């Protein structure tokens, strides 16, 4: 290294896991081992988790029906309480325990903590097919990201594990979509790789045909692929999310399956494995 030049910073990896991928203790343990391996390789890692299935199940147990508009949960005061219980009383602590058992110095907290993410209440929103603007209730858009807090945690050797609960400047707790939080963190932190942990090992043109797996995509190919109708189901929304993430500055988005051992570490280090790599520039 030349005299006077600072050493290169560690690779910054943001991992987003949905609530459905961490319900089982064995799946959480597999994820934790994977993250431990990634950290051992020198990466700075942050985790964002959702809790969709857990929120819906707990709401049903409490006599609350989940209502969705445009794929987003409408959140009144009672549902917000349910969201907080599921995220901070179930998914976050369970994921934390698995990470600690794998030797990861994790810190699980709502994204509201120390202003990592500050929200503002979403105004009524016009949606296609809805006769009137939809009021989502206590749901947030991003007002500010406190990137310095995450960087300080990394410098302390910690792995932030963030649930998507935020607060506004008036002290109101708000429900924030985990995809929205993920995308906002990418730009603020200069994330290199975003890993989306899903129920399948990447993009398939036909989920019933393993031979239809798509190992690589360019950002510019996402729009035409979706317009072709070759991709269906939940992967449509996932690829739309990927397009937003790369627009915010991520070099790569890696879609991996939560049942695959060491899938994340292998993907980030370009080792063999089944996944889909979506890159901003030239495909590997």
Closest by CA to 278, choosing from 171, 212, 202, is: 202
Domains 50-190 and 192-284 share a fold: yes
Task: Give yes or no for residue 207 having a pLDDT over 90.
Answer: no
247-259: average pLDDT: 93
Helices (H) and strands (E) in the chain, counts: 9, 16
pLDDT of 127 reads: 80
pLDDT of 5 reads: 60
Sequence ranges of the domains in the chain: 50-190, 192-284
- The answer to whether domain 50-190 has CATH 3.30.70.20 is no
Mean pLDDT across the chain: 92
Question: Could you give the CA distance from residue 231 to residue 239 in angstroms, rounded to a whole number?
Answer: 9
Task: Give yes or no for residue 130 having a pLDDT over 80.
Answer: no
pLDDT of 1 reads: 45
pLDDT of 282 reads: 54
Question: Could you give the CA distance from residue 206 to residue 174 in angstroms, rounded to a whole number?
Answer: 38
Per-residue pLDDT reduced to its tens digit, 137-196? 999 999 999 999 999 999 999 999 999 999 999 999 999 999 999 999 999 999 999 999
Share of the chain above pLDDT 90, in %: 78
pLDDT of 232 reads: 76
55-59: average pLDDT: 97
User: Is the pLDDT higher at 162 or at 233?
Assistant: 162
* Structure-token pair, residue 241: 């999310």
Would you tell me how many other CB atoms lie within 10 Å of the CB of residue 202?
25
Query: Is the CB of residue 273 less than 8 Å from the CB of residue 239?
Result: no
Element (H, E) at 153: helix 147-155
The answer to which of 22-31, 181-190, 193-202, 226-235 has the lowest mean pLDDT is: 226-235
Residue 47 φ then ψ, to 5°? -125, 135
CATH of the domain spanning 192-284 = 3.40.1160.10
- What confidence tier does 281 reach under pLDDT thresholds 50, 70, 90? confident
């Amino acid at each position: 290294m030349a005299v006077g030049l600072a050493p290169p910073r560690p690779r910054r990896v943001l991992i987003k896991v949905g609530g459905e991928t961490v319900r089982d203790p064995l799946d959480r343990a597999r994820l934790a081992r994977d993250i431990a391996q990634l950290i051992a390789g020198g990466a700075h890692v942050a985790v964002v988790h959702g809790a969709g299935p857990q929120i819906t199940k707990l709401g049903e147990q409490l006599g609350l029906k989940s209502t969705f508009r445009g794929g987003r949960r409408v959140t009144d005061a009672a549902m917000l309480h349910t969201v907080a219980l599921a995220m901070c009383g179930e998914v976050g602590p369970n994921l934390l325990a698995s990470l600690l058992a794998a030797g990861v110095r994790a810190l699980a907290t709502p994204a509201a903590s120390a202003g990592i993410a500050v929200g503002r209440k979403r105004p009524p929103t016009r949606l296609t097919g809805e006769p009137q603007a939809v009021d989502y209730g206590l749901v947030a858009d991003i007002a500010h990201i406190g990137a310095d807090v995450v960087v300080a945690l990394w410098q302390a050797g910690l792995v932030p594990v963030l649930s998507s609960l935020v607060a506004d400047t008036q002290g109101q707790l708000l429900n924030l979509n985990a995809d929205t939080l993920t995308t906002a963190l990418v730009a603020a932190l200069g994330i290199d790789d975003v890993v989306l942990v899903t129920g399948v090992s990447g993009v398939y043109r036909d989920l019933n045909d393993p031979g239809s797996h798509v190992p690589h995509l360019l950002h510019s190919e996402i729009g035409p692929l979706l317009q072709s109708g070759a991709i269906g189901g939940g992967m449509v929304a996932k690829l739309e999310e990927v397009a937003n993430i790369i627009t915010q500055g991520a070099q790569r988005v890696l879609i991996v399956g939560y049942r695959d051992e060491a899938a994340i570490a292998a993907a980030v280090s370009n080792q063999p494995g089944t996944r889909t790599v979506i890159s901003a520039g030239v495909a590997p």
